[in-house]
Amino acid sequence: MFIKYDEYELLELFLSEPKSLTGNIEDGEISYSKKGENDFKLSIHIYTYRLECSVFLQYNESDVFSASLENVTDIKRKDNLLEIYSGDSLILSIIFRKDFLIILNEK
């Protein structure tokens, strides 16, 4: 199994190419990052074959929020909204605006 996502959708949303977390882009362990307008930085690490995803939000290089998500099956983009799913359950949403709004859904 692996996390399903569209590379081009994430490229358009983050406005940057993914970076390898291991030095080998082909192993499915990648990171996307984007800076907001007010010194916020959002980073997402995707571990495609481990079904894991980590989300980090920093302000002035200080951690504000982090989440390690397990059993991730899909990452979907809808306009400027990124949704992370486990099966049919929405785990986390990120709204891309001047900065970022993160909504963590409880089970």
* Domain map (residue ranges) of the chain: 7-104
Distance CA 73, CA 3 (A): 5
pLDDT tens, residue by residue, 19-48? 999 999 889 999 999 999 899 999 999 999
* Beta-carbon contacts of residue 106 (< 8 Å; ≥ 6 apart): none
- Strands 100-104 and 89-96 come out as antiparallel
Say what the pTM is.
0.93
Alpha helix ranges (H) inside the chain: 7-14
